[in-house]
Structure 1
């Protein structure tokens, strides 16, 4: 777990290890969420990077009779 310091302008630096692990690049947008008593930063990815991320998912689920 990394610790960062909030600057007088309320800025934080994302630690290098986290940036590299999440492949965050300069200028990339991140979504900021407040969840209970914490802040979560979620990197936004271009839609073309999402292609194939569900590959191999099991789609054989039982459906209601009116949904077949």
Structure 2
């Protein structure tokens, strides 16, 4: 288990192993989620980065009277 300490300025360093595991880069945005008894940091991904993340064939069919 990796641990980190909150600095006097309320900053937290993410351990190198975790940064590498999640491919975190400097300046990357993390969502901070407060849950009962814990805090979660979730890497935000741009909409363009999410394109194609679902597997399978595109079954979306547009109605013929739509553009």
TM-score scaled to structure 2, two decimals? 0.78
Match of 1:14 in 2: 14
Measure, in 1, the Cα distance between the counterparts of 2:53 and 2:36.
29
Large movers: runs of 4+ above 6 Å: none
Structure 1 unaligned spans of 5+: 60-68
Q: For residues 30-64 of structure 1, give each alpha carbon's deviation from its aligned partner in whole angstroms, at most 9, with x where no partner exists.
A: 0001011100000001111111111138x8xxxxx
Q: Which has the higher helix share?
A: 1
TM-score scaled to structure 1, two decimals? 0.77
Measure, in 1, the Cα distance between the counterparts of 2:50 and 2:39.
24
Structure 2 unaligned spans of 5+: 60-67
Q: Considering only aligned residues, what root-mean-square deviation do their CA atoms show, in Å? A: 1.6
